């Protein structure tokens, strides 16, 4: 439950630092006008004007109020909106006290300064909450009643100019009637200002709702290049780890980042649009800068940022689709034109090899031809498997069972002799998948890890579930990563992935091995994506490569993965 004070200070429609500064400036101007009005009053009275004629109490009050406003102006800007509301609430309370006190010294209920309460009520309904107008109308009524009581009892008479006191000394019924009339006017103004503030708040909320939900990042900077408004998408793209609020400067947002040049563009009020290349922190983006002008004078800058990741991914997907179509068209021809002659070649070489002894050089050459023929046959098999998409046969499957089978199959391979396979499973969720294809994914990742470690003398392959999902680069293709799902990892202690190759390793026929077809990871990626999941790779902080698999949860036993934070160990 919110406290009464929170109800009064929340939901301000224009509670910005420029608005507060304008309010403070208006108060200072008010003090000057009040002093001039007082001086004019004494000139009109034709008393041979001099400064000593003004009551000391009036000068002290005006000086004190001016000093308080200087303190407001020199106060450090409050960036938190709720604290800013309390800051304003205290100012309005002081305003009520000042107006009541100044009215006490300048004619009581007959003082023209009482009407400043109307301005205060309207300002409070706009800068604080709408209901604040009724609260301050009540405060003003209490202040006027106190003034009327003090005058009726002649309290502090010696501090008031006799001419002003004479104006305040009216019959009690007349003063009560005037009090009720002014109080009624105050509450009418409070009601009308609440309606006005409600309209402004509705328009602002509607405007904010549109801007807040936009898929493009939007930020508005004032003349001092500080944030006036920014939506969540802008914060995600540029300052996800920085607490950004109204008053945050462009220097704080862009300084030290690859986009520091934007500070210079904002300072020069340059307009235009351009593209930003992707980097480790942000995706590729299109930025549009335009100036906000009033009567030809620049009042600020509007920045519109469009995330081009989806467009780039669509372009990449389109290129891959074209490539896959060409592959599918060639698949049948390659199977017929290569595989059948290859079988004949292999059979002929076997016959030739049988004519030589094992220690004969010709026997060894024939053996090399046979091995390379087998490797070529495997490449063709993988190629056909990749080109032909078999329909999924989905059924509930235990993840732990698949991983245990994968471990046994990998451990039986010759290249696993110097490798320790460590299976870390603390949960065994049931997922909906094609178990044969999913086992093929796990085997491809495992074989890839064994091959990477065979050149370094062995190591440890750690298969882990559940694992902490790390932050990934903006170009990684992920499918709704905030949905419920499971994340597991394959971490090897090999040489890792060459820099800049994290995404290329999933391309067909791309390989970093001396002997490899370059289709294993492509097949794995296609299978995972057909399960509406994601597969991506990264170099581990302690060395080696980590392959992450994310699969959507298909049952209540699958748990929500951790929030994406950097991972320090596999």
Note the pLDDT of residue 41: 62
Instruction: Specify whether 425 is located in the same domain as 359.
Output: no
Note the pLDDT of residue 154: 78
Note the pLDDT of residue 491: 93
- Can you give the residue range of the structural domain that contains 45? 4-212
Return the structure tokens found at 88.
């304003």
Residue 563 falls inside a structural domain: no
Pick the last residue of a domain from 274, 307, 340.
307
Is residue 136 within 8 A of residue 89, CB to CB? The reply is: no
Q: Please compute the mean of the pLDDT values over residues 506-512 and round it to a whole number.
A: 73
Specify the higher pLDDT residue, 95 or 210: 95
Q: Which of 100-114, 244-258, 325-339, 376-390 has the highest mean pLDDT?
A: 100-114
Instruction: Specify whether 362 is located in the same domain as 419.
Output: no
Query: pLDDT band at residue 16, thresholds of 50, 70 and 90?
Result: low
Across 6-15, 96-105, 264-273, 504-513, least confident range: 6-15
Pick the last residue of a domain from 185, 212, 239.
212
Return the structure tokens found at 376.
């070529």
Instruction: Specify whether 190 is located in the same domain as 69.
Output: yes
Specify the higher pLDDT residue, 322 or 532: 532
Predicted confidence (pLDDT) per residue in 388-423, tens digit: 666 788 999 999 999 999 999 999 888 888 889 999
Residue 557 falls inside a structural domain: no
Is 80 exceeded by the pLDDT of residue 14?
Answer: no
Instruction: Specify whether 167 is located in the same domain as 198.
Output: yes
Is 50 exceeded by the pLDDT of residue 149?
Answer: yes
Separation in Å, CA 152 to CA 164, 168, 175, 451: 14, 8, 9, 100
Please provide the average confidence, as pLDDT, over all residues in the chain: 77
315 burial (CB, 10 Å; 0-12 / 13-18 / 19+) is exposed
Note the pLDDT of residue 4: 54
Instruction: Specify whether 438 is located in the same domain as 405.
Output: yes
Note the pLDDT of residue 502: 74
Instruction: Specify whether 91 is located in the same domain as 179.
Output: yes
Helix (H) or strand (E) holding 552: strand 545-552
Is 80 exceeded by the pLDDT of residue 98?
Answer: yes
Tokens 């026997």 found at: 363
Angle in degrees, 0-180, between the axes of helices 56-74 and 17-44, rounded to the nearest 10: 160
Predicted confidence (pLDDT) per residue in 270-279, tens digit: 787 888 877 7
Q: What is the DSSP letter of 496?
A: -
Predicted confidence (pLDDT) per residue in 429-458, tens digit: 889 999 999 998 999 999 889 988 887 778
Q: What is the DSSP letter of 467?
A: -
Query: pLDDT band at residue 219, thresholds of 50, 70 and 90?
Result: confident
Instruction: Specify whether 338 is located in the same domain as 414.
Output: no
Q: What percent of the chain has pLDDT over 90?
A: 8
Note the pLDDT of residue 481: 45
What CATH number does residue 419 fall under? Answer: 3.30.565.10
Residue 369 falls inside a structural domain: yes
Q: What percent of the chain has pLDDT over 70?
A: 76
Pick the last residue of a domain from 212, 246, 274.
212
Is residue 561 within 8 A of residue 534, CB to CB? The reply is: no
**Could you please report the per-residue DSSP string of 109-137?**
GG-GGGGHHHHHHHHHHHHS-TTHHHHHH
485 burial (CB, 10 Å; 0-12 / 13-18 / 19+) is buried
Instruction: Specify whether 381 is located in the same domain as 293.
Output: no
Domain count, the chain: 4
Query: pLDDT band at residue 558, thresholds of 50, 70 and 90?
Result: very low
Q: Which of 353-367, 376-390, 401-415 has the highest mean pLDDT?
A: 401-415
Instruction: Specify whether 176 is located in the same domain as 257.
Output: no
Instruction: Specify whether 198 is located in the same domain as 240.
Output: no
Specify the higher pLDDT residue, 493 or 279: 493
Q: Rounded to an integer, what is the distance from CA 546 to the centroid of its chain?
A: 27
Tokens 């290249």 found at: 415
Separation in Å, CA 71 to CA 28, 74, 91, 120: 12, 5, 11, 20
Strands (E), 374-526: 395-398, 419-425, 430-433, 459-465, 485-491
Query: pLDDT band at residue 477, thresholds of 50, 70 and 90?
Result: very low
Q: Please compute the mean of the pLDDT values over residues 70-82 and round it to a whole number.
A: 66
What CATH number does residue 234 fall under? Answer: 3.30.450.20
Specify the higher pLDDT residue, 232 or 40: 232
Instruction: Specify whether 421 is located in the same domain as 321.
Output: no
Tokens 């041979």 found at: 48
Is 70 exceeded by the pLDDT of residue 504?
Answer: yes
Note the pLDDT of residue 286: 87
Q: Which of 155-159, 299-303, 471-475, 556-560 has the highest mean pLDDT?
A: 299-303
**Could you please report the per-residue DSSP string of 295-334?**
TTEEEEEEEEEEE-HHHHHHHHHHHHHHHHHHHHHHHHHH
Helix (H) or strand (E) holding 6: helix 4-9
Predicted confidence (pLDDT) per residue in 120-136, tens digit: 888 887 777 777 888 88
Note the pLDDT of residue 246: 66
Note the pLDDT of residue 433: 92
Q: Which of 71-80, 201-210, 471-480, 534-543 has the highest mean pLDDT?
A: 534-543
């Amino acid at each position: 439950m919110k406290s009464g004070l929170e109800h009064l200070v929340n939901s301000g429609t224009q509670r910005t630092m420029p608005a507060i500064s304008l309010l403070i400036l208006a108060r200072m101007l008010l003090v000057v006008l009040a002093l001039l009005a007082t001086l004019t009053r004494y000139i009109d009275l034709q008393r041979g004007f001099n400064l000593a004629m003004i009551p000391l109490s009036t000068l002290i009050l005006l000086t004190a109020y001016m000093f308080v406003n200087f303190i407001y102006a020199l106060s450090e800007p409050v960036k938190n909106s709720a604290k800013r509301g309390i800051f304003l609430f205290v100012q309005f309370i002081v305003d009520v006290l000042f107006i009541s006190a100044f009215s006490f010294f300048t004619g009581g209920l007959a003082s023209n300064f009482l009407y400043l309460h109307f301005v205060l009520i309207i300002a409070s309904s706009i800068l604080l909450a709408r209901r604040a107008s009724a609260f301050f109308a009540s405060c003003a009524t209490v202040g006027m009643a106190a003034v009327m009581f003090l005058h009726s009892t002649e309290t502090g008479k010696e501090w008031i100019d006799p001419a002003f006191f004479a104006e305040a000394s009216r019959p009690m019924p007349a003063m009560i009637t005037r009090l009720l009339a002014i109080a009624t006017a105050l509450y009418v103004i409070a009601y009308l200002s609440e309606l006005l503030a409600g309209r402004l708040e509705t328009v602002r909320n509607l405007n904010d709702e549109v801007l807040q939900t936009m898929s493009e990042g939007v930020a508005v900077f004032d003349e001092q290049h500080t944030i006036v408004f920014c939506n969540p998408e802008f914060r995600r793209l540029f300052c996800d780890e920085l607490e950004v609020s109204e008053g945050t400067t462009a220097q704080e947002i862009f300084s030290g980042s690859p986009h520091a040049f934007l500070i210079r563009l904002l300072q020069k009020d340059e307009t235009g649009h351009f593209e930003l290349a992707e980097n480790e922190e942000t995706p590729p983006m299109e930025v549009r800068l335009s100036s906000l002008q009033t009567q030809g004078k620049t009042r600020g800058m509007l920045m519109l940022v469009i995330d081009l990741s989806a467009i780039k991914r669509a372009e990449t997907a389109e290129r891959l689709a074209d490539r896959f179509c060409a592959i599918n068209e060639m698949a049948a021809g390659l199977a017929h034109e290569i595989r059948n002659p290859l079988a004949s070649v292999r059979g002929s070489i076997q016959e030739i090899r049988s004519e030589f002894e094992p220690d004969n050089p010709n026997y060894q050459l024939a053996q090399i031809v046979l091995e390379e023929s087998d490797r070529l046959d495997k490449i063709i098999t993988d190629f056909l498997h990749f080109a032909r998409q078999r329909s999924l046969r989905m059924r509930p499957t235990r993840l732990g069972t698949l991983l245990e089978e994968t471990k046994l199959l990998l451990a039986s391979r010759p290249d696993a002799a110097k490798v320790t396979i460590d299976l870390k499973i603390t949960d065994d969720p049931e997922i909906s998948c094609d178990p044969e294809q999913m086992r093929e994914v796990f085997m491809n990742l495992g074989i890839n890890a064994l091959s990477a470690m065979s050149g370094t003398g062995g190591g440890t392959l750690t298969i882990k579930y559940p694992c902490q999902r790390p932050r990934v680069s903006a170009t990684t293709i992920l499918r709704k990563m905030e949905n419920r799902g499971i994340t597991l990892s394959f971490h090897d202690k090999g040489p890792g992935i060459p820099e800049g190759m994290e995404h290329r390793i999933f391309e067909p026929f791309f390989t970093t091995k001396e002997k490899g077809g370059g289709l294993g990871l492509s097949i794995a990626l296609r299978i995972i994506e057909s399960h509406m999941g994601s597969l991506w790779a990264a170099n581990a902080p302690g060395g080696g490569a980590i392959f992450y698999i994310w699969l959507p949860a298909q049952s209540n036993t699958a748990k929500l993965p951790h929030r994406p934070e950097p991972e320090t160990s596999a």
